[in-house]
Chains A and B, each alone.
Chain A
Amino acid sequence: MSRLAAILPARRRPEPRGLPVYDPGRELRAERRARELLRSVVGPDAFEAYDRLGFIAVERGGYGYLLYPHRPIVSYDLESGELLSEYCVRFPDGADRDPDARLPDADDVLAKWIALAGDERGLIADSNMHLPGRQHDPKHLRRDLDRLAQLR
């Protein structure tokens, strides 16, 4: 390698053909759009939790779920707050040319919310289940449950 080549930055790899050119504002616009849709579907109270805490809580009989964007769903006991399981699930869009493309954060939460509301058993069956603590830090989860209680 010449001395010049050694000190110059490596040439940027060209974008793979057919993929959209990177647009730093696109994700921001997409997230804004997704947040509006999320708000209109889940209602103002649930949306407030997402807006202020970064996740949505869904309650069922005796247990609940915490829905984080692009992180596993967490189930917990409503009465004791005990963490029960993590459910790793994603929504890959096979029609997308970019294999790394993913839904905006708020759309990912919305997809989880809809799937839980519409077919809870199906979503759980499609997920990879783990004990709490695999991808989420249990300390953070307990803190989030405290923050949620304070918000309410």
Chain B
Amino acid sequence: MKLLRLKSGHGDVLLAEGDPEVAEDEERLVEEFRRQLDQGMWAAVPGAERDGRREATMVREFSEIPRDAERVIFFPRAAGGRGRAPIR
């Protein structure tokens, strides 16, 4: 499992990687997962195609991540846009 973070000016950054079935790896993944959420990130697990449509699931706890998930993507929480001047 890879933990990736979308980062301004960089693209995705690999935060941690490991096998959640291995206790030592899982501990490291959980720690990084919590750190990212503490920093205000959202976490999502991209899913496989279903009915011809790709899915993604937001997760708030490490235990919500499917054990066979290949990656978890962290990205900044959404906020209302500043709103540029309206077009004329």
Contacts and interface: CB of A to CB of B under 8 A. Distances in A.
Nearest to A100: B8
Q: What class of interface size applies to chain B in its complex with A?
A: 20 to 34
A40 B54 CA distance: 10
Interface residues of A, number: 50
Interface in A1-44: 20, 26-27, 29-34, 37, 40-43
A126 B78 contact: yes
A34 B4 CA distance: 12
B29 to A, nearest CB: 19
Interface stretch (A77-85, A103-111, A144-152): A103-111
B46 to A, nearest CB: 5
A55 B44 CA distance: 21
A104 B13 CA distance: 12
Interface of B: 4, 6-12, 39-40, 42, 44, 46, 49, 54-58, 73, 75-84, 86-87
Interface in A33-78: 33-34, 37, 40-43, 46, 72
Nearest to B8: A101
A93 B39 CA distance: 9
B61 to A, nearest CB: 14
Contacts of B11: 29-34, 37, 104, 107
Given A26-B9, A114-B46, A135-B84, A89 B78 contact: yes
A41 B87 contact: no
Contacts of A98: 8-9
B75 A114 contact: yes
Contacts of B54: 41-43, 46, 117
A27 to B, nearest CB: 7
Interface centre among B39, B56, B86 (most CB of A within 10 A): B56
B66 to A, nearest CB: 14
